[in-house]
Structure 1
């Protein structure tokens, strides 16, 4: 019985600690960078490109070309390495 009470108290404390930053105005109320028109400014290049596409500043072709260049740049900076896996031998 003592174990059950200790587990329940531990769960209540864990829940309170998870909610504590929100009640004190922590991560839920972080300041964001407002844009000129009152919206939140995008934090990534992809977000900027989408904003420009939605606003009509760039065309769909320009958007696709910019994303293609971005993907090439990311591939050069952070190449993916695929492990050498030999296909399983068939047992026929």
Structure 2
């Protein structure tokens, strides 16, 4: 899932402005494979983010997202997106 797709998904659900959506998408793509907390959380569900683009990691996460229980989804959301972008991340993953 590239920047444009993640931004489209966020905007479709939240109806927020382009600037907010773009910043959220950028933040998620930056954090997902550069913040140790995110990398470790992904490893716990079987996704290795090392050496992969953020788009590749999000594609892998998207393919297993619906099979994860709500608590795991919430934990991943906080660790990947942070508290400020949590609800937008959950909306994006839908």
Task: Report the TM-score when normalising by structure 1.
Answer: 0.28
* Structure with a larger share of its residues in helix: 2
Whose radius of gyration is greater, 1 or 2? 1
Larger RCO of the pair (alpha carbons < 8 Å, separation 6+):
2
TM-score of the superposed pair, with normalisation by structure 2: 0.27
